[in-house]
Structure 1
């Protein structure tokens, strides 16, 4: 079965898919052998409730933000959806898929709508601008040089805190 719940809200679709699967499981006299393709990851939980339900997934590998389908089906649940990567493969512009990734990260982390995400982003930018000092206004050349040499993307959070503590200590000593 595919496209169960098509044209419905996410929760409607999950509910319909769950009810159909539950019905087929609880009525073995129907003798339905069913392959159920879905992107509703919530349905993976059904294997823990219904003994005759098994999850299978198509194996994939990720390489340089691309997904490679291995054409191999194995037992287990899919832990990730590759909709955005598939959209890239289908030719959607990079600016669209990059924005989609940004929205997805926010939705997964906070369950915000794109409008709320934009509002929150603007609020953060405003807050950062209110509190941020300019490196160019900073008079201590030695500390400024140390700050410029920090590769923030290569630091762990603990290393960043330790470096900040060290720089703060140097400022207090001067």
Structure 2
């Protein structure tokens, strides 16, 4: 009987030791990830987890030349838009992300309109010709969304758009000013 108790105690010790090793490994990995992510961000990389653009790793660059249609940019939403996104739950106040990333769809003098289509509901048009996709009048929780009806871009204003109909972008908040745009970004690895 004493032998069984001794065997159980040894088994418990091994179990305790293996759990301790597991937690030490887990703790080490978490520290590595946390410091690695900070290093990663300081080197100008962004991990995109939103559905606005393909999921993946993007490298940011200083803007040295004129921004053009198709460029991916990182920007800080203005106070009004940020408050709206927090109120709706699109962003959390405590989120690490203070910036958004979208693709430029319009530059100075471009005109955007939202028109009704019998087949697709609301459709975004650029310069009364090119259809850029749908515009939703409600978000995923069936709350009404403000959307632009008409917008002509002025100097240093950009129309930014995501790839998802559920992307909260210039279809809803309008033009983004040049001073709100921080970097250009290019995908390095997309999932």
TM range (shorter): under 0.3
**Highest RCO, 1 vs 2 (Cα 8 Å, sep ≥ 6):** 2
Flag the structure with higher strand content.
Answer: 2
TM-score (norm: length of structure 2): 0.21
